[in-house]
Amino acid sequence: MPFGARVSLSSGVLLLLLAIGNGLSAPSINPSLQRAEVLAAMAAVGLMLVAVLWTRAQPLSPEAVVLGGTQGLRMELGLNDATRTELAWGSHLLLTATSAATILVAWDQRVVLRRGLVPPLPEGDSSTSSPPSETFSPGAICERSRTQGKLVSLVKTALYPGSSEFDPVLPGLPAVMVHPLGERGWVVLGGWSERCFSRSDERWFSGWCERLRMTLETNDVLPVQADAPAPPGC
């Protein structure tokens, strides 16, 4: 509760208690005293109502959650320059201009980008690129966003039992936005706190996802899986 609201609430409670004490200690009840008691009670209730409205007008911002992981950037090494540039500048702006803590881009069942807070790398792997075997397994919420063809925002993941599908992105994310990349991928944006993304954040995120989808479709050059069979004659 803001300081001014606390002062107003305390003043209202104090005035109400004084009015009650004054009425109980009066030697006799007369019309003048009754009018004064009613006016004092109305003033006390008015001060308490001001405190409530003040709190609603200036709600406290949700506190940031302590998340695991370390700051990092992992990107597929086989992407061309246009795709790498698009992923780099878009993810940088989302992480610096919004309350996002982490971002994941999945394309054709591959994780092509992780940035912000990222889970620890496998033991013995110190590279900055995503491990070739890393995949993203979409759940019901991701599939719903693809079916609807638009952003799905979870302002408070604790209210959504299915939000555990985003634990592989980063465990314990308090808020998540997911946007489909056509039929071939998703972008997942995790926030630091509940209700941390604004309407303008959602519009900007959706717009960039559409731009990214077109870039990925135009420059479709994902690296070959390490265990993929070699072409005949090689």
DSSP 160: -
Between the CA of residue 7 and those of 1, 14, 20, 38, what are the distances in Å?
A: 10, 10, 20, 22
Beta-carbon count within 10 A of 7 CB? 14
Report the pLDDT averaged over residues 198-209: 94
Pairwise CA distance, residues 181 & 141, whole Å: 14
Residue in 67, 55, 56, 57 with CA at minimum distance from that of residue 193: 67
Beta-carbon count within 10 A of 171 CB? 12
The domain made up of 70-218 has a fold known as: Beta-Lactamase (3.30.450)
Domain boundaries, given as residue ranges, for the chain? 3-57, 70-218
Q: 7 φ, ψ to 5°?
A: -65, -45
**109 Cβ neighbours under 8 A, 6+ residues apart:** 135, 136
Task: Give the position of tokens 């309407």.
Answer: 199
- pTM of the predicted protein model: 0.68
pLDDT confidence tier of residue 134, bands split at 50, 70 and 90: low
Q: Is the pLDDT of residue 203 over 60?
A: yes
Question: What confidence score (pLDDT) does residue 35 get?
Answer: 84
